[in-house]
Amino acid sequence: MLVELGIITTVLALVLAWYAVLAGLYGAQTRRDRWVLSARNAALLTWPLLTVASLALIISQINGDFQIEYVWSTTERAADLFFKITALWGGQAGSLLFWSWLMSTFAAGALILNWRSERRLMPYVIVFSMATLGFFLILNVLVESPFARFWQTANGEVVTAVFQPVGTFPAIPQDGRGLNPLLRHPGMVIHPPTLYLGYVGMVIPWAFAMAALASGELSTSWIRATRRWTLVAWLFLSLGLILGGRWAYDVLGWGGYWGWDPVENAALLPWLTGTAFLHSVMIQEKKGMLKVWNMALVIISFILVILGTFSTRSGIVSSVHSFAQSPIGPPMFVFLALASVVSIGLWLYRWQRGELASEHHLEGWLSRESLFILNNMVFMAITVAVFWGSYAPIFTELFIGEKITLGPPYFNSVTAPLFGALFILMGLAPLSAWGHTSLSRMGRAMLWPFLAAVGLVAILLIFGMRDVGALLAFGLAGFAGFVTLYEIWRGVKARAQREAWAVAAWKLFGRNRRRYGGYLIHLGVVVIGIGVIGSTIFQQETQRTLAEGQSLTLGRYTMIYDRLERAQATDGRVMTIANVEVYDGSQLVAVLRPRQDFFPNAQDMNTMTIAGSYSTIENDFYVLLVAWEEISQASATFKVYLNPLVNLVWWGGLLLMLGTAVAAWPDQDRQRQRVTRRIEAGEHGSPART
Amino acid sequence: MALGLVVMLLGASVVLAQGGGETTPPSVREVTADEVNAISSKLYCPVCENIPLDVCGTQACARWRAQVRTLLEGGASEDEVITYFVDQFGERVIGTPQNPTLNFLSWSVPIAGVVLGVVAVGVIFIRWRGQRGSAVRPAGESEEEATLDDDYRARLERELRSSK
Amino acid sequence: MSEMQTSETQTGPFDPQTQPFVEQDIPRRRVTPLSVVIFLGVFGLLIVLGLQLIEANRSQPNSGPAPDFTLHVFENMDADAYLFGDAFTLSEHRGKVIVVNFWASWCGPCRSEAPALQRVWEAYQDRGDVVLLGVDYVDNTEDALGYIREFGITYPNGPDLGTRISDAYRIQGVPETFVVGKDGNVFQFIYAGVTARDLASIIDRALAE
């Protein structure tokens, strides 16, 4: 019964989504508001329908209805309730349903929250968001249904079909295959949904942008809604990237958190263009410039989201995380192509008609605008480099006939200077003014932060750091960080004349959320940057086979191998656990239990190496159990990493989240009033009024 | 012997290498796991794409690491080991291609991207500045006002000055 | 500067009937070269992705001309050092039935089918119009030679240097076997392991063609 309910609700949602597209289009074209309202109601209805469909699948997972192929392939009887629920996104078909549900949640959110304020854009927002949802629902219903079931034919063959084929009877397996072992980790439970939230979130800004393009309603109003939704998507993308890194660090067992893998890059690409947009959109808000470009960035971010989904799920780029080759490749490609051609076509059309022209011109070579434009250039350069790094294998395979891999050596050497440039801009931009800044003014403003950065480099030199690249990197990150701290300090100091320091700080952040939230994000990025620099350049590793009681030393830590033990967990995994003692000098600081889990029932990836790690501010002592003497268990092989400053990556991530929350906190009213006032007052002199 | 193998694969004198392998016993060098890992980290598992060889957990990868060790013990240099793997398994087993054309291609695109970006930004700056005199300059907006456009900032500066 | 008009803020309640069409006031512009370049660029990227998608979804050839290749055959398998003996080029053996078997020493199913392959070879090798070839897919050379010795394999084997042969045949894993007919076309593709009986019957049918 549940299955039928799931099928019916998904199909209904599909029909309603496409009805909303057509009704919205018709209503917008003929200016009949009744149709627009009808389209809205249809769009809103997809949410309860998809909620029911998702719940139907989740309940089937909990009940262990293994006749459903998806339930069979992602759960098993012995699995914890928690993993039975999260199996919803443990495989292709279920995660597509989950994607659709999130998409409809976001669409409903946009329709409810922005209905009045962006009334003119709404018909087309419905059209474009529902077209995207409708497409994913086509995949769900026709290509990869999570409700497909096993049926047995008269001659004993088992077939998979959504509806019972004639002459068959249900085939119900005893037990399921269970979730992919790599996904049985709390990080992996949160990571995909946050990443999907980021992906799906990017659809809403795109829908607004497309609505603006389609309706010709290109005043700055679309940018308001878009900016906020982009910030939401950006928050989730950032969170997804950081959690993904944490998951890799804990579970993939290679001592790192970022491997420039095509799937990681697929999530990084829209993050990069989204970040560029969040900066350049300010120029449009302040100066009415860069309209063509901002529109392009929103469209590119959306296309990159769809491209990332397409390429990682269709098997055209191979990766650790890839879903196996699947039938959704061709339909996804069709959607990608349509979305790209329609978006870019509309954008070029409006551009050619001159409807996206700047209202202002650059006033000074050195200004907030010019620095933001440079910032955008650097972000785009990184985007191109990362894009090429991920997709070059396709080009070389097609045109030269040789498949290549571009790995960390490529990405690190190409992106490092660009990230360095970003740190410089991050230091300069907050000190610059809109319009025009003189060099001497900038020089005076950056004097103290600059001296502090020089001081930092000097201290590092004194402490014996001789790596030129590292010194430069720390210096630049330090400069950006000091500027941000200095700016915050100055803000607090100005207020502190009237009130206590703590109150001053609280109010400063509370009253200027966008500015100081942005500064917090900058600080977060600086902290992440320092963590990345430290753990990339100064990572140490060694591998040794130790007999019981033997030790190895790395950095200031000594590790003694105590013994090996075996255990079996409730989900059937066999764990081989090494007990090791970690000494800092002669002081016992930790007993670590690095382990290898073996999943006897799992299909392919059946072992998982879980590190034991002793974490301090300074570094992580990260131990992997690589191999052991099967019979005597007398000796075991360990791979040990010393990852300096790696914890700053996570802490910087938290700071970044906090900053985004501050910046996105709804206090849009005053902001909106100011912009409107300014435009109404003709402050920037729209020539149409002069 | 293993070095001989490398030489053979490079298409060098086959007969000589074989003769050498039989008469003089190979000098086996002590090779640590760290040396093997250092080179393996630059290689990728040939069958499971995008997993560096040093962290790949499969049995086949363990054998390829053993191969790295054998080659090193035979006296091969890092470059020779890498060349051996590329010849055997193709360009995809290293992080940046060895083949000069492919190598050039992989670096030229991001560099071209940066150059293009710089040119585009330059053109935009010059065009926007060029329009300055002729085009719209909001009436009544003086240079000073433009500078202090950011009203929050202006207020902050004033308050900070007044505190001195 | 009439294009500036769109920057006007429109206020007041939404009234679709009275809204003027802003677009009509705006003069049409020419299509600029830049936009043509952008559009072509996007098209180009889409075409490349589409081609790759087609490529990725193509499966092993089951008919049509067998991709030609040259295999450098392992020789002198008993010695520690080995030599590449003859270079075996597929197209030079037109008129024979050629069985191309992809294998690797690290692959379990390959081990199960190895004795069967050797038996088939022993049954057909004297005829002269049947050739069995082992293509060793990404392997450790020592292990590969060990494997050949272990199963007493006497038909020619060689490494798939740079995985060029396996790429041409689009194999998805090992073992996979292709039987090439006398006309140089793929006669049959066998996914996964084979038994001696099945392989022999396929060869017989190929010979009968």
DSSP A39-56: HHHHHHHHHHHHHHHHHH
Q: Look at residue B75 in the predicted model and tell me its pLDDT.
A: 86
Element (H, E) at A169: strand A169-170
| Upper half-sphere CA count for residue A346 (Cβ side, 13 Å) | 22
pLDDT of B39 above 70: yes
Query: Is A537 in contact with A469 (CB distance < 8 Å)?
Result: yes
For the segment A627-645, the average pLDDT, to the nearest whole number, is 86
Weakest-pLDDT range from A409-418, A451-460, C133-142 = C133-142
Asked if B94 lies within 8 A of A405 by C-beta distance, the reply is yes
For chain B, say whether C127 makes contact (Cβ under 8 Å): no
Average pLDDT, chain C: 80
Q: Does domain C70-208 have CATH number 3.40.30.10?
A: yes
Burial class (CB in 10 A: 0-12, 13-18, 19+), A521: buried
Distance CA B69, CA A367 (A): 57
Rg of chain C in Å (alpha carbons): 30
Q: How far is A553 from chain B (nearest CA, A)?
A: 14
Query: Which positions 116-155 of B are in contact with C (Cβ < 8 Å)?
Result: 136
Confidence band (pLDDT; 50, 70, 90) for B161? confident
Region at C72 (left for phi over 0; alpha for psi -120 to 50; beta for the rest): beta
Count H helices and E strands in chain A, helices first: 19, 13
Domains of chain B: 2-93 (1.10.8.640), 100-162 (no CATH)
Asked if C106 lies within 8 A of B59 by C-beta distance, the reply is yes
Q: Look at residue B157 in the predicted model and tell me its pLDDT.
A: 76
For chain C, say whether B22 makes contact (Cβ under 8 Å): yes
β-strand pairing of C130-136 with C157-159: parallel
Minimum CA–CA partner of A214 in chain C: C23
Q: Look at residue A540 in the predicted model and tell me its pLDDT.
A: 92
Q: Look at residue A606 in the predicted model and tell me its pLDDT.
A: 73
Handedness of CA C157, C162, C163, C164 (dihedral sign): negative
Asked if A688 lies within 8 A of C7 by C-beta distance, the reply is yes
Nearest to C62 by CA among C199, C171, C204, C201: C171
Asked if A348 lies within 8 A of C35 by C-beta distance, the reply is yes
For chain B, say whether C161 makes contact (Cβ under 8 Å): yes
Asked if C42 lies within 8 A of A288 by C-beta distance, the reply is no
pLDDT of C9 above 90: no
Asked if A354 lies within 8 A of C48 by C-beta distance, the reply is no
Q: Which of C3, C7, C31, C34 to mutate to test the interface with A (most CBs of A within 10 A)?
A: C7
pLDDT of A322 above 70: no
Region at A624 (left for phi over 0; alpha for psi -120 to 50; beta for the rest): beta
Question: Can you give the three-state secondary structure of A138-154, one letter per residue?
Answer: HHHHHHCCCCCEEEECC
Region at C162 (left for phi over 0; alpha for psi -120 to 50; beta for the rest): left
For chain C, the distance separating the N- and C-terminal CA atoms, rounded to the nearest angstrom, is 78
For chain B, say whether A374 makes contact (Cβ under 8 Å): yes
Minimum CA–CA partner of A687 in chain C: C4
Q: Which of A143, A352, A380, A400 to mutate to test the interface with C (most CBs of C within 10 A)?
A: A352
Nearest to C178 by CA among C148, C137, C126, C146: C137
Element (H, E) at A35: helix A33-63
Burial class (CB in 10 A: 0-12, 13-18, 19+), A400: middle
Asked if A329 lies within 8 A of C3 by C-beta distance, the reply is no
Q: Which of C2, C3, C4 to mutate to test the interface with A (most CBs of A within 10 A)?
A: C4
pLDDT of A454 above 80: yes
Q: Look at residue B6 in the predicted model and tell me its pLDDT.
A: 39
Query: Is B122 in contact with B116 (CB distance < 8 Å)?
Result: no
Distance CA A603, CA B53 (A): 22
Q: Which option is the CATH number for A185-380: 1.20.120, 3.40.50, 1.10.10, 2.60.40?
A: 1.20.120
Residue whose entry in the numeric block shows the structure tokens 């630059």: B42
Q: How far is A614 from chain B (nearest CA, A)?
A: 20
Q: Considering only the beta carbons, identify the residue of B37, B137, B159 that sits closest to A541.
A: B37
Weakest-pLDDT range from A323-337, B108-122, B141-155 = B141-155
Q: Look at residue A254 in the predicted model and tell me its pLDDT.
A: 83
Weakest-pLDDT range from A350-359, A566-575, B144-153, C23-32 = B144-153
Could you please report the per-residue DSSP string of C124-163? HTTTSSEEEEEEE-S--HHHHHHHHHHTT--S-EEE-GGG
Query: Is C199 in contact with C99 (CB distance < 8 Å)?
Result: yes
Q: How far is C124 from chain B (nearest CA, A)?
A: 31
Please state the ipTM of this predicted complex.
0.83
Confidence band (pLDDT; 50, 70, 90) for C2? very low
Which residues in chain A have Cβ-Cβ distances shorter than 8 Å to B131?
361
Asked if A433 lies within 8 A of B150 by C-beta distance, the reply is yes
Weakest-pLDDT range from A222-231, A394-403, A611-620, C70-79 = C70-79
Residues of chain A with pLDDT > 70, as a percent, come to: 94
Asked if A320 lies within 8 A of B51 by C-beta distance, the reply is yes
For chain C, say whether B26 makes contact (Cβ under 8 Å): no
For chain C, say whether B86 makes contact (Cβ under 8 Å): yes
Minimum CA–CA partner of B23 in chain C: C81
Confidence band (pLDDT; 50, 70, 90) for A604? low
At position A444, the amino acid (one-letter code) is: R
Confidence band (pLDDT; 50, 70, 90) for B16? very low
Weakest-pLDDT range from A37-51, A89-103, A349-363 = A349-363
Q: Considering only the beta carbons, identify the residue of B21, B66, B70 that sits closest to C81.
A: B21
Distance CA A243, CA A246 (A): 5
A465-512 pLDDT tens trace: 889 999 999 999 999 999 999 999 988 888 888 888 888 888 888 888
A561 has which bridge partners? A580
Nearest to A476 by CA among A440, A524, A530: A530
Q: Which of B149, B150, B152, B160 to mutate to test the interface with A (most CBs of A within 10 A)?
A: B149
Q: Regarding predicted confidence, which is higher, C11 or A32?
A: A32
Domain boundaries, given as residue ranges, for chain A: 1-184, 185-380, 438-537+648-679, 540-644
pLDDT of A298 above 80: yes
Asked if B67 lies within 8 A of C138 by C-beta distance, the reply is no
Confidence band (pLDDT; 50, 70, 90) for A325? low
Q: How far is C146 from chain B (nearest CA, A)?
A: 13
Task: Write phi, then psi, for C134 (nearest 5 degrees).
Answer: -105, 125
Domain boundaries, given as residue ranges, for chain C: 12-57, 70-208
Q: Look at residue C19 in the predicted model and tell me its pLDDT.
A: 43
Q: How far is A359 from chain C (nearest CA, A)?
A: 7
For the segment A99-107, the average pLDDT, to the nearest whole number, is 96
Q: Considering only the beta carbons, identify the residue of A216, A341, A352 that sits closest to C22.
A: A216
Q: Give the neighbours of chain A: at least 3 Cβ pairs within 8 Å.
A: B, C
At position A455, the amino acid (one-letter code) is: G
Q: How many residues does chain C have?
A: 209
Q: Which of C46, C47, C52, C60 to mutate to test the interface with A (most CBs of A within 10 A)?
A: C52
Which residues in chain C have Cβ-Cβ distances shorter than 8 Å to A32?
16
Minimum CA–CA partner of C48 in chain A: A395
**Contacts with A44 (C-beta within 8 Å, 6 or more apart), sequence order:** A108, A111, A112
Distance CA A150, CA A160 (A): 5
Distance CA A415, CA A425 (A): 15
Q: Regarding predicted confidence, which is higher, A406 or A187?
A: A406
Q: Look at residue C85 in the predicted model and tell me its pLDDT.
A: 62
Asked if A359 lies within 8 A of C5 by C-beta distance, the reply is no
Q: Considering only the beta carbons, identify the residue of B14, B64, B136 that sits closest to C83.
A: B14
Distance CA A330, CA A317 (A): 14
Residue whose entry in the numeric block shows the structure tokens 């049918």: C205
Asked if A680 lies within 8 A of C35 by C-beta distance, the reply is no
Asked if C142 lies within 8 A of B17 by C-beta distance, the reply is no
pLDDT of A201 above 70: yes
Q: How far is B82 from chain C (nearest CA, A)?
A: 13
For the segment A277-304, the average pLDDT, to the nearest whole number, is 91
For chain B, say whether C86 makes contact (Cβ under 8 Å): no
Which residues in chain C have Cβ-Cβ distances shorter than 8 Å to A119?
14
Handedness of CA A234, A235, A238, A240 (dihedral sign): negative
| Upper half-sphere CA count for residue A655 (Cβ side, 13 Å) | 20
Q: Look at residue A344 in the predicted model and tell me its pLDDT.
A: 94
For the segment B34-53, the average pLDDT, to the nearest whole number, is 87
Q: How far is C150 from chain B (nearest CA, A)?
A: 17
pLDDT of A295 above 90: yes
Q: Look at residue A77 in the predicted model and tell me its pLDDT.
A: 86
Q: A222-250: buried (b, 16+ CB within 10 Å) or exposed (e) per residue?
A: bbbbbbbbbbbbbbbbbbbbbbbbbbbbb
Could you please report the per-residue DSSP string of A435-497? S---HHHHHHHHHHHHHHHHHHHHHHHHTT---HHHHHHHHHHHHHHHHHHHHHHHHHHHHHT
Minimum CA–CA partner of A217 in chain C: C6
Q: A591-627: buried (b, 16+ CB within 10 Å) or exposed (e) per residue?
A: ebbbbbbebeebeeeebbbbbbbbeeeebbbbbbbbb
Distance CA A559, CA A580 (A): 6
For chain B, say whether A528 makes contact (Cβ under 8 Å): no
Q: Considering only the beta carbons, identify the residue of C80, C106, C162 that sits closest to B63.
A: C106
Q: Regarding predicted confidence, which is higher, A546 or B12?
A: A546
pLDDT of A445 above 80: yes
For the segment A297-306, the average pLDDT, to the nearest whole number, is 96
Confidence band (pLDDT; 50, 70, 90) for C5? very low
Q: Cis link prior to C175 (omega < 30° from 0)?
A: yes
Average pLDDT, chain A: 88
Copy the structure tokens of residue A658: 């906090």
Q: Which of C23, C46, C53 to mutate to test the interface with A (most CBs of A within 10 A)?
A: C53
Q: How far is CA A202 from the centre of its chain?
A: 10
At position B14, the amino acid (one-letter code) is: V
Q: Look at residue A385 in the predicted model and tell me its pLDDT.
A: 95
